[in-house]
């Protein structure tokens, strides 16, 4: 079975603080893909990043960075110098490679509130 766990239900920070959103996944597949999506208050789901299981390099995109550690089955997301516009629900998701179709399995989401 595949599962994604985001243990942090809500996080509240003050603007300019750094914040890390945790994601732990379970899968028996040796090839799989991990994703992060952002859901702002307006409701749409916005793609942030995709990472395949063979690429453990960390990635940085502006204030966003992702730390993928296969040994601990974690794919954590860090926002540096957070801003009010970062306030949203963030979802981590997993896609298995074999016989899965293309569907994503989502975690329960972490609601991030950035206060001015």
Partner 1 sequence: DSGVTQTPKHLITATGQRVTLRCSPRSGDLSVYWYQQSLDQGLQFLIQYYNGEERAKGNILERFSAQQFPDLHSELNLSSLELGDSALYFCASSVGNENTGELFFGEGSRLTVL
Residues lying near partner 1 in the complex (CB under 8 A) are found at 33, 35, 37, 42-47, 50, 52, 91, 97, 100-109
Gap between the Cα atoms of 38 and 92, Å rounded: 9
CB of 1 to partner 1, least distance (A): 13
CB of 75 to partner 1, least distance (A): 14
- Is the CB of 5 or the CB of 78 nearer to partner 1? 5
Gap between the Cα atoms of 56 and 20, Å rounded: 18
- Is the CB of 64 or the CB of 106 nearer to partner 1? 106
The neighbouring-strand residues paired with 37 are 47, 91
CB of 62 to partner 1, least distance (A): 18
Gap between the Cα atoms of 41 and 112, Å rounded: 11
Gap between the Cα atoms of 109 and 92, Å rounded: 7
């Amino acid at each position: 079975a595949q599962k994604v766990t985001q243990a942090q239900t809500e996080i509240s920070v003050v603007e300019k603080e750094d914040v890390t959103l945790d994601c732990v996944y379970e899968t028996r597949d040796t090839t799989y893909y991990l994703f992060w999506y952002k859901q702002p208050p307006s409701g749409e789901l916005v793609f942030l990043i995709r990472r395949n299981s063979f690429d453990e390099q960390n990635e940085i995109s502006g204030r966003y960075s992702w730390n993928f550690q296969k040994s601990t089955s974690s794919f954590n997301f860090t926002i540096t110098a957070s801003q009010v516009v970062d306030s949203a629900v963030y979802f981590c998701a997993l896609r298995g490679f074999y016989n899965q179709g293309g569907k994503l399995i989502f975690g329960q989401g972490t609601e991030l509130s950035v206060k001015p």
